[in-house]
Amino acid sequence: MGVVYRAECKNCGYSKRLFAGGGRNDCMPQKIGRELSEEKQALLKEMISNGAKRVIINRIICACKDCGEIYALPIVSYTLDGEKHEIIGDCPKCSSENAEAVENNVPCPICKAEITLTQDGLWD
């Protein structure tokens, strides 16, 4: 089960719903592929075909340090041949891997005023 957040800027009206955590469909790693770049989708397919174990999919609320986009960063953790690995998503706007986890006090990607993050519900 995951948490839905709403990111809102009272200055310019920017608003976005963000889905953090994981849901029922995340039990099938193939479903998260659309949230990953083509390169990372290939890593995911290779991971699955090589028999990865203990696959965990999670999303954390992040801000891109390059473009300022606020998004739910997908992280796929798994074990392969006894070693732990991760596939970490990219910014959906600029494809940067330079993200920082946020809780509040985030600058708006439009006007740079402070955004408020509030819990808006649950998802599965």
For residue 19, count other CB atoms closer than 10 A to its CB: 19
All residues at 6 or more sequence positions from 13 whose CB lies less than 8 Å from its CB, including other chains: none
What span, in angstroms and rounded, lies between the C-alpha atoms of 35 and 74? 7
Please tell me the pTM assigned to this model: 0.86
pLDDT at 25: 67
Tell me the one-letter amino acid at 23. Answer: G
| pLDDT in single tens digits along all 124 residues of the chain | 789 999 999 999 999 999 999 877 666 666 777 788 899 989 888 988 898 888 888 999 999 999 999 999 999 999 999 999 999 999 999 999 999 999 878 899 999 999 999 999 888 7
Q: How many residues does the chain have?
A: 124
What span, in angstroms and rounded, lies between the C-alpha atoms of 53 and 47? 9
The Cα-based distances of 74 to 14, 53, 83 in angstroms read: 22, 18, 20
pLDDT at 26: 65
